[in-house]
Structure 1
Amino acid sequence: MKFFSRIIMFTAVNNMFVTPEYTGIEECSSETMESVWNQTRQTSCQLRHVTINLDASNHTGTVQVIPSQTVVKRCGGSCLSPSHSCYPTSSTMVSVEAMIISTSWNEGEWSTLCQTFRVREDTACACGCTVRPEDCTVHQYYQPQACKCICKNWKLRNSCVSQDKYWDTESCTCLCKNWRSCSTGYLFDGQNSCTCVPTFVVASPSIVVVVAVALFSALGLLTLLILSRKSGNANLSRRETLARVLTEEEI
């Protein structure tokens, strides 16, 4: 049975996308399946020659690098499992000789220098999960079939969505969808009220504790200074009184 559906096929012309074309979908014949599998082998994960730019931006006054690019082998292509990615299992660093044409703007002189670039070249590839179990946080668990970390607290996620908020799958936190800037003395509460609140309201408990400890420490130090000054004044008064008594006795 033949049926038709819209399939978008983009044709690139001068790096611009033209109007998509639509083709029909039909049951696969044995010849078509064989052709598709041949294409799959051509696009499978394997070493491919790619062009890499030679970056000399760290060299002051660089005008041109000759050659500006080099060709190395890098892993690329598709994997049969949609959740897998093509990645290198082994690689090495190769040396690429190049000339750097630079100039000194103060003197206007041009000079040619030679530099060796170190570029990574892959030697073996494989299909697999690029996200590992160790990449998950304490709030996540690893799902090997999907090759990703999943948030544990699904109830909190459902509650977040029901409030028309945004659930961040990386931090497993509920955030406001629309953020905005606030006036001086106010901060945007991006997790609870989704409004601008006074700065002290959104201060974290640790900051509050630190401020409280600092205030109590300062108050205690001030009290010790006052007591010490009073004690010193009392001792001075007693010494002066004793001196007057001794003077009167001598007279």
Structure 2
Amino acid sequence: MNVMYLVRIFVMLTSTMLMPSWGDYVELGVCNRAKQISIINSGPKCAVRQTVVDLRQYFKNMTDVVQVIPSHAVVDRCSGGCSTNFPFTCQAKKSTSKSIDVMLTLDVWPYGEHSTVCSKVQVREDRECECDCAVKAEDCDPRIQYYEANSCSCVCMDMKSRNECVQSGKVWDSASCSCQCPPEAWQPCSTGYLFDMTHTCKCVAVALRASEGILAVVFILSIISTFSIIKGYQMYRNKTGLFRNRKSDNRHFEPDEEEVLQGEENDLNRTSLLTWTVKPVVTGLTLDITNNNEVKETSFHIDSEGAQHGNVGKE
């Protein structure tokens, strides 16, 4: 431990001795009002200028593109400073699209040959510029942020968590409003481990992180299953829901004795009513057993009281 401590002290002293001072780069002096105005006016103003643009960025998602010719183009873009309008930056107020002809060299797989095709790329070209905020109010997340116009930025609402994060030695991410580990704490992890960026700032087992989610899912499924069993038992006891429909179906296909008797009585009543009102004459064939089984044609009708009239037969 003592040797390592001495090594650290030696490294710190060596770094301090080799570190250049401000005097090597800048010269400090009096800055009066005239000097300040001269410095402000010497900087390039926000205006449209010719800017070199890399055209290869428009084809980065095309893996078969080997070369783009030309690789760069000159277009008009807004650039310059807004020193008198802090914190504004130079932004495009009006823009158009410029079409540029390019030649692409493609890699033909799997033959290893190259083919050349012509294409066009649309590049933004600015026409007017202004000093304005780069971050707008619509860029903020209203759930966790509010827009601060004076600083052109999105500010996190939970300032308490921010203060606790800074006091613990971690880094506060203003974009996501979350506490993260400092960059110097980042380290590669071996197989089966993952670096925890928000809590422990150490390598943790992937199975351990995944088990928390699995336990939550199992717990929710257990609650749903228990509720379903209890509800099903209640419906079975009260003969409701699915069990009520099943009882109705059984009664439809297997009527009890009382329903059968009631149905037969209704059929008899309908038959009597039909006989009383229509009084049909029935003609049919009868078999005379007493007369050598001869077949006779018989005509008769039935009156309202059920009496049969007319028994005339023909052999």
TM tier, shorter chain?
Answer: 0.5 to 0.7
TM-score between the two structures when normalised by the length of structure 1: 0.61
Displacement of 1:77: 1.1
Provide closer, same or farther for how the CA distance between residues 203 and 116 of structure 1 changes in structure 2, counting only shifts above 3 A: same
Asked if 2 retains the 8 angstrom alpha-carbon contact of 1:47 and 1:122, the reply is yes
Asked if 2 retains the 8 angstrom alpha-carbon contact of 1:88 and 1:123, the reply is yes
Name the counterpart of 1:82. 86
Residues 1-251 of structure 1 mapped to structure 2, 5 A cutoff: 20-28=24-32, 30=34, 32=35, 35-40=38-43, 43-55=44-56, 56=59, 62-80=65-83, 81-102=85-106, 104=108, 111-137=115-141, 138-177=143-182, 178=185, 181=189, 191=198, 196=204, 199=208, 203=212, 210-217=217-224
Provide closer, same or farther for how the CA distance between residues 54 and 173 of structure 1 changes in structure 2, counting only shifts above 3 A: closer
Task: Describe the SS at the equivalent of 1:134.
Answer: helix
CA root-mean-square deviation? 3.9
Provide closer, same or farther for how the CA distance between residues 117 and 26 of structure 1 changes in structure 2, counting only shifts above 3 A: same
**1:128-174, Cα deviation, whole Å (9 max, x unpaired):** 11212222222222211111112223233223333333333223233
Provide closer, same or farther for how the CA distance between residues 64 and 212 of structure 1 changes in structure 2, counting only shifts above 3 A: closer
Displacement of 1:203: 3.2
Gaps of 5+ in 2: 1-20, 233-315
Task: Describe the SS at the equivalent of 2:74.
Answer: strand
CA distance in 1, matches of 2:157, 2:73: 46
Name the counterpart of 1:236. none
State the identity %. 34
- Code of the residue aligned with 2:177 in structure 1: it is C
Task: Describe the SS at the equivalent of 2:101.
Answer: strand
Asked if 2 retains the 8 angstrom alpha-carbon contact of 1:187 and 1:199, the reply is no
CA distance in 2, matches of 1:189, 1:65: 41
Displacement of 1:108: 6.6
CA distance in 1, matches of 2:172, 2:221: 37
CA distance in 2, matches of 1:76, 1:153: 35
Task: Describe the SS at the equivalent of 1:146.
Answer: coil
CA distance in 1, matches of 2:176, 2:114: 52
- Structure ID, larger Rg: 2
Name the counterpart of 1:238. none
Displacement of 1:208: 5.2
Task: Describe the SS at the equivalent of 1:26.
Answer: coil
170-179 or 92-101, which deviates more: 170-179
The structure richer in helix per residue is 2
Displacement of 1:201: 9.5
Name the counterpart of 2:16. none
Displacement of 1:48: 1.1
CA distance in 2, matches of 1:109, 1:202: 50
